[in-house]
Amino acid sequence: MHRFAAKTEPACEAARRALLSQRYIASSTKPDSVDGSKNFQPDNDSHAVIEIHVVCMTDGLKSNSSTAYVNAAQDRYALKKSNTSASVGLSVFGSLSLPIGSSDDSMVKVASETIPAGVFYQRFFALVDNYLKADAAQPADVAAAATPKEPLPSMNDAVPPIGAAQTGDDSQKATTTK
Protein backbone atom coordinates (compact mmCIF):
# COMPACT_ATOMS: atom_id res chain seq x y z
CA MET A 1 0.00 0.00 0.00
CA HIS A 2 1.05 3.59 -0.59
CA ARG A 3 -0.50 6.91 0.39
CA PHE A 4 -0.74 9.65 -2.22
CA ALA A 5 -1.49 13.36 -1.80
CA ALA A 6 -4.29 13.11 -4.37
CA LYS A 7 -7.91 12.08 -4.49
CA THR A 8 -8.93 8.56 -5.48
CA GLU A 9 -9.68 9.12 -9.18
CA PRO A 10 -6.47 11.02 -10.03
CA ALA A 11 -4.42 8.44 -8.10
CA CYS A 12 -5.95 5.55 -10.05
CA GLU A 13 -5.58 7.42 -13.34
CA ALA A 14 -1.89 7.98 -12.54
CA ALA A 15 -1.59 4.24 -11.74
CA ARG A 16 -3.18 3.39 -15.10
CA ARG A 17 -0.76 5.69 -16.91
CA ALA A 18 2.18 4.21 -14.98
CA LEU A 19 1.16 0.72 -16.13
CA LEU A 20 0.70 1.84 -19.73
CA SER A 21 4.14 3.49 -19.68
CA GLN A 22 5.64 0.09 -18.85
CA ARG A 23 3.75 -1.63 -21.71
CA TYR A 24 1.13 -3.29 -19.51
CA ILE A 25 -2.31 -3.91 -20.99
CA ALA A 26 -4.97 -2.17 -18.89
CA SER A 27 -7.75 -4.75 -19.02
CA SER A 28 -10.16 -3.25 -16.50
CA THR A 29 -10.21 0.43 -15.65
CA LYS A 30 -12.64 1.98 -13.17
CA PRO A 31 -12.43 5.30 -11.29
CA ASP A 32 -11.21 3.49 -8.16
CA SER A 33 -9.33 0.48 -9.58
CA VAL A 34 -7.24 -0.69 -12.49
CA ASP A 35 -6.01 -4.11 -13.62
CA GLY A 36 -3.12 -4.71 -15.96
CA SER A 37 -1.09 -7.56 -17.39
CA LYS A 38 2.16 -7.98 -19.27
CA ASN A 39 3.56 -10.98 -21.14
CA PHE A 40 7.26 -11.85 -21.33
CA GLN A 41 9.14 -14.50 -23.26
CA PRO A 42 12.60 -14.76 -21.65
CA ASP A 43 13.64 -17.50 -24.07
CA ASN A 44 12.13 -19.84 -26.65
CA ASP A 45 11.07 -22.45 -24.09
CA SER A 46 9.48 -20.27 -21.42
CA HIS A 47 6.84 -17.59 -20.98
CA ALA A 48 5.86 -15.36 -18.05
CA VAL A 49 2.81 -13.25 -17.27
CA ILE A 50 2.59 -10.53 -14.63
CA GLU A 51 -0.88 -9.44 -13.54
CA ILE A 52 -1.23 -6.37 -11.35
CA HIS A 53 -4.30 -5.10 -9.50
CA VAL A 54 -4.59 -1.58 -8.05
CA VAL A 55 -7.42 -0.37 -5.78
CA CYS A 56 -7.54 3.28 -4.71
CA MET A 57 -9.45 4.42 -1.62
CA THR A 58 -10.03 7.85 -0.11
CA ASP A 59 -8.39 8.29 3.29
CA GLY A 60 -11.38 10.17 4.74
CA LEU A 61 -14.69 11.73 3.85
CA LYS A 62 -13.26 15.13 2.86
CA SER A 63 -9.66 14.12 2.45
CA ASN A 64 -7.42 15.11 -0.44
CA SER A 65 -5.33 12.00 0.01
CA SER A 66 -5.85 8.40 -0.97
CA THR A 67 -4.28 5.03 -0.44
CA ALA A 68 -3.50 2.64 -3.26
CA TYR A 69 -3.46 -1.07 -2.49
CA VAL A 70 -1.48 -2.99 -5.09
CA ASN A 71 -0.79 -6.66 -5.59
CA ALA A 72 0.90 -8.43 -8.45
CA ALA A 73 1.20 -12.09 -9.38
CA GLN A 74 3.62 -13.75 -11.74
CA ASP A 75 2.84 -16.96 -13.64
CA ARG A 76 5.55 -18.91 -15.46
CA TYR A 77 5.01 -21.32 -18.29
CA ALA A 78 7.44 -23.79 -19.84
CA LEU A 79 7.42 -25.66 -23.11
CA LYS A 80 6.72 -29.32 -22.48
CA LYS A 81 7.07 -32.02 -25.08
CA SER A 82 4.75 -34.98 -24.96
CA ASN A 83 5.32 -38.06 -27.02
CA THR A 84 2.31 -39.96 -28.21
CA SER A 85 2.39 -43.26 -29.98
CA ALA A 86 -0.09 -45.63 -31.46
CA SER A 87 0.23 -48.86 -33.37
CA VAL A 88 -1.74 -50.28 -36.22
CA GLY A 89 -2.17 -54.02 -36.41
CA LEU A 90 -2.76 -55.57 -39.78
CA SER A 91 -4.58 -58.87 -39.39
CA VAL A 92 -3.89 -59.79 -42.98
CA PHE A 93 -0.17 -60.06 -42.16
CA GLY A 94 -0.63 -61.65 -38.75
CA SER A 95 0.78 -59.87 -35.74
CA LEU A 96 2.58 -57.19 -37.69
CA SER A 97 2.30 -53.80 -35.96
CA LEU A 98 3.47 -50.50 -37.42
CA PRO A 99 4.28 -47.93 -34.73
CA ILE A 100 3.09 -44.41 -35.37
CA GLY A 101 4.62 -41.77 -33.13
CA SER A 102 4.33 -38.04 -32.80
CA SER A 103 5.50 -35.30 -30.52
CA ASP A 104 3.36 -32.37 -29.38
CA ASP A 105 4.67 -29.18 -27.78
CA SER A 106 2.55 -27.19 -25.36
CA MET A 107 3.04 -24.42 -22.82
CA VAL A 108 2.31 -25.64 -19.30
CA LYS A 109 2.03 -23.46 -16.20
CA VAL A 110 4.93 -24.44 -13.96
CA ALA A 111 4.76 -21.77 -11.23
CA SER A 112 2.58 -19.01 -9.86
CA GLU A 113 3.58 -16.57 -7.15
CA THR A 114 2.58 -13.24 -5.64
CA ILE A 115 5.39 -10.74 -6.18
CA PRO A 116 6.76 -9.89 -2.71
CA ALA A 117 7.10 -6.36 -1.35
CA GLY A 118 10.23 -4.65 -2.57
CA VAL A 119 11.75 -2.99 -5.62
CA PHE A 120 8.88 -3.82 -8.00
CA TYR A 121 6.32 -1.93 -5.91
CA GLN A 122 8.74 0.90 -5.02
CA ARG A 123 9.34 1.56 -8.72
CA PHE A 124 5.62 1.39 -9.46
CA PHE A 125 4.80 3.92 -6.72
CA ALA A 126 7.58 6.21 -7.96
CA LEU A 127 6.04 6.15 -11.44
CA VAL A 128 2.58 6.94 -10.04
CA ASP A 129 4.05 9.82 -8.02
CA ASN A 130 5.69 11.18 -11.18
CA TYR A 131 2.38 11.19 -13.07
CA LEU A 132 0.56 12.82 -10.15
CA LYS A 133 3.18 15.58 -10.02
CA ALA A 134 2.84 16.13 -13.78
CA ASP A 135 -0.94 16.41 -13.41
CA ALA A 136 -0.64 18.87 -10.52
CA ALA A 137 1.71 21.18 -12.47
CA GLN A 138 0.40 24.46 -13.82
CA PRO A 139 -0.26 24.54 -17.60
CA ALA A 140 2.97 26.48 -18.25
CA ASP A 141 4.89 23.94 -16.21
CA VAL A 142 3.35 20.83 -17.81
CA ALA A 143 6.20 20.30 -20.28
CA ALA A 144 8.78 20.68 -17.51
CA ALA A 145 6.88 18.34 -15.17
CA ALA A 146 6.31 15.76 -17.91
CA THR A 147 10.04 15.66 -18.66
CA PRO A 148 11.72 14.43 -15.46
CA LYS A 149 15.27 15.51 -14.62
CA GLU A 150 16.17 11.87 -13.89
CA PRO A 151 15.11 8.85 -15.91
CA LEU A 152 11.77 7.43 -14.89
CA PRO A 153 12.05 4.31 -12.77
CA SER A 154 11.29 1.14 -14.67
CA MET A 155 9.42 -1.83 -13.28
CA ASN A 156 11.27 -4.08 -15.76
CA ASP A 157 13.79 -6.46 -14.22
CA ALA A 158 12.42 -5.66 -10.75
CA VAL A 159 10.62 -8.98 -10.47
CA PRO A 160 12.61 -11.75 -8.82
CA PRO A 161 12.43 -15.13 -10.53
CA ILE A 162 9.93 -17.50 -8.97
CA GLY A 163 11.59 -19.60 -6.32
CA ALA A 164 14.36 -17.06 -5.68
CA ALA A 165 15.57 -17.11 -2.10
CA GLN A 166 14.18 -14.28 0.00
CA THR A 167 16.04 -12.76 2.89
CA GLY A 168 14.38 -12.10 6.22
CA ASP A 169 10.72 -11.21 6.37
CA ASP A 170 10.75 -8.79 3.42
CA SER A 171 8.05 -10.80 1.71
CA GLN A 172 5.66 -10.06 4.56
CA LYS A 173 6.25 -6.28 4.80
CA ALA A 174 4.10 -3.75 3.01
CA THR A 175 5.65 -0.62 1.60
CA THR A 176 4.02 2.45 3.13
CA THR A 177 5.00 6.00 2.31
CA LYS A 178 3.32 9.21 3.39
pLDDT digits 0-9 by tens, 26-63:
988 898 999 999 998 988 889 999 999 999 999 877 78
Torsion on CA atoms 105, 109, 110, 111, rounded to nearest 10: 160
Sign of the Cα pseudo-torsion (54, 33, 11, 143, in order): positive
What are the backbone angles phi and psi of residue 25, rounded to the nearest 5°?
Answer: -95, 120
Res 71 pLDDT > 70:
yes
- Given a cut of 50, whether residue 171 has pLDDT beyond it is no
User: Is pLDDT above 70 for 6?
Assistant: yes
Report the pLDDT averaged over residues 16-35: 93
Element (H, E) at 136: helix 119-136
Q: Find the Cα–Cα–Cα–Cα dihedral 122, 115, 7, 132, rounded to 10°.
A: 40
> Dihedrals φ, ψ of 115, to 5°?
-70, 125
Q: For residue 106, which of 41, 162, 46 has the smallest C-alpha distance?
A: 46
Q: Is the pLDDT of residue 177 over 50?
A: no
46 burial (CB, 10 Å; 0-12 / 13-18 / 19+) is middle
**Rounded average pLDDT over 87-114:** 70
Judged by average pLDDT, the poorest of 17-21, 42-46, 75-79, 126-130 is 42-46
Greater confidence (75 vs 146) lies with 75
pLDDT in tens, 102-112: 667 788 899 99
Q: What is the mean pLDDT of the chain?
A: 78
For the chain, the structural domain boundaries read: 2-76+110-163
2-76+110-163: CATH topology is TATA-Binding Protein (3.30.310)
pLDDT of residue 143: 52
